[in-house]
């Protein structure tokens, strides 16, 4: 999707600090981190929100979750603890409409989130 910010990161038209990449998934550092570790994990395929993902994309979504776990390991926060968050639609605070998992940690996380 040519107008999508994260699709432009996938196509390398916008630079990002890449943490992990394979044929289906890309992980890169959030430009405005809200925790010492704050990495975004996205499918290369464009979906605007979680509501747009079909059952037939189940393998991709599972892979996204496993890559997020691998990112937590690579960033050294797996054993201490980390959080995976996804926002869906305006009231959640979603600001980029290409689905992404936030992998966050390196500090004690608050619960419930704001």
How far is residue 59's CA from residue 28's CA, in Å, rounded to a whole number? 21
Q: State which residue has the least CB distance to Zn ion.
A: 4
Residue 4 binds Zn ion, judged by CB under 5 A: yes
The site partner of 18 among ligand 5GP, Zn ion, none (C-beta below 5 to 8 Å per kind) is none
Q: Which residues pair with 29 in a beta bridge?
A: 39
Handedness of CA 4, 6, 9, 14 (dihedral sign): positive
* Shorter beta-carbon distance to ligand 5GP: residue 79 or 94: 94
Minimum gap (Å) between residue 1 Cβ and Zn ion: 5
* Shorter beta-carbon distance to ligand 5GP: residue 14 or 109: 14
Known catalytic residue at 100: yes
Contact (Cβ atoms closer than 8 angstroms) between residue 63 and residue 44: no
Count CB atoms within 10 A of the CB of residue 64: 22
> How many CA atoms lie less than 13 Å away from 94 in the CB half-sphere?
18
Minimum gap (Å) between residue 92 Cβ and ligand 5GP: 7
Minimum gap (Å) between residue 107 Cβ and ligand 5GP: 16
């Amino acid at each position: 999707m040519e107008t999508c910010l994260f699709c432009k990161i996938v196509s390398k038209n916008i630079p990002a600090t890449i943490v992990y990449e394979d044929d289906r998934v890309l992980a890169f550092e959030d430009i405005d981190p809200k925790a010492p570790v704050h990495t975004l994990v996205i499918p290369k395929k464009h979906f605007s929100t979680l509501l747009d993902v079909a059952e037939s994309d189940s393998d991709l979504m599972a892979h996204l979750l496993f890559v997020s776990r691998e990112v937590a390991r690579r960033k050294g926060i797996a054993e201490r603890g980390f959080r995976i968050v996804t926002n869906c639609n305006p009231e959640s605070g979603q600001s980029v409409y290409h689905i992404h998992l936030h992998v966050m940690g390196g500090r004690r996380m608050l619960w419930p989130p704001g």
